Amino acid sequence: MARMSVDMMTVLHKCAEIELKSMELYDLYADCFTHDLDVARMWRRAAREEEDHANQFRLALKMRDGVIREVNLDPCRVEYILKELQFAIDRVKLSCPTLEEAFHSAIKLEEDLSGMHVQYVVDFEDEMCRKFFNALMMDDKIHVSRLREAYDRQTKTRDR
């Protein structure tokens, strides 16, 4: 995919938007599974962590205000993730997914996001920015492994 010059503030704004949409999706999932306390709690926790990520981006935006740097990124990737997220949110609003469907789309989302954050870690020259995206990427990885574990646990207990 083509890469183009984008300023850092735009990237940070878009990233905050992605975190907020992830929060919205996970809160909707939690609402769909209120009959299963453990599952609902897991989505709620994920939603609050995404909210925390969004707040971190807001903080980063405040701190970097005025320090506009150009970075070479693939803007299509961000737009693609945002579109996928909105699509998933709209779908859940129409009807609740099965637990399996919810796990699958959340795992795919977290993997896409961690891939995107890796790209930022590599591309940003700014040391603070690199560390920041590195920490977020680690969180995405933790989310993926936690979702996979929860998925395995749920399918095992359900098959019994």
The smaller minimum CB distance to Fe ion, of residues 21 and 53, is found at: 53
C-beta of 33 vs 143, nearer to Fe ion? 143
Q: Of the two residues 24 and 50, which places its CB atom closer to Fe ion in the complex?
A: 50
* Residue 23 contacts residue 47 (beta carbons within 8 Å): yes
Region near Fe ion per CB under 5 A, out of 27-35, 36-44, 87-95, 138-146: 138-146
Say whether residue 53 binds Fe ion (CB under 5 A): yes
Three-state DSSP class for residue 72 = strand
Q: How many CA atoms lie within 13 A of 77 on its CB side?
A: 21
Between 32 and 109, CB nearer to Fe ion: 109
Residue 24 makes contact with Fe ion by CB under 5 A? no
Tokens of residue 8, six digits: 């850092």
Q: Which two tokens stand for residue 122?
A: 């590599």
Contact 40, 34 (CB under 8 A): yes
Of 18-26, 56-64, 72-80, 89-97, which part binds Fe ion (CB under 5 A)?
18-26
Q: Answer yes or no: are the C-beta atoms of 70 and 118 closer than 8 Å.
A: no
Contacts with Fe ion, residue ranges (CB under 5 A) = 19, 50, 53, 140, 143
